[in-house]
């Protein structure tokens, strides 16, 4: 499984380069169906923030 612009993309099964149609976000996950082969899977609607993104994010802000 890989991520592209915050979206999880399943590795293609042999014989199908999946083209996912993912339902609108409504909670932590959404289901998607491959338009080509009909395979379904669950996708997360958010990504985890790594510690380097959250730690110190308040540092060096200009107080006004």
Q: Flag whether 58 is in a domain.
A: no
pLDDT at position 37: 95
**Cβ count near 58 (within 10 Å):** 7
Residue scoring higher pLDDT (51 or 4) = 51
pLDDT at position 15, please? 84
29 closest CA partner among 49, 6, 5, 45: 45
Q: Would residue 53 count as lying in a domain?
A: no
pLDDT band at 42 (very low <50, low <70, confident <90, very high): very high
Q: Is the pTM of this model over 0.75?
A: no
Long-range contacts of 44-48 (CB under 8 A, 24+ apart): 44/8, 47/3, 47/6
Residue 64: inside a domain, yes or no? no
The reply to whether 40 falls in a domain is yes
* Count: domains in the chain: 1
- Domain extent for 29: 2-48
- The Cα–Cα gap between 45 and 30 comes to 7
């Amino acid at each position: 499984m890989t991520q592209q612009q915050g979206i999880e993309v399943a590795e293609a099964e042999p014989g199908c380069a999946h083209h996912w149609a993912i339902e609108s976000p409504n909670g932590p996950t959404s289901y998607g169906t491959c338009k080509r082969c009909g395979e379904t899977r669950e996708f997360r609607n958010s990504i985890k923030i790594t510690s380097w993104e959250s730690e110190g994010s308040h540092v060096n802000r200009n107080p006004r």
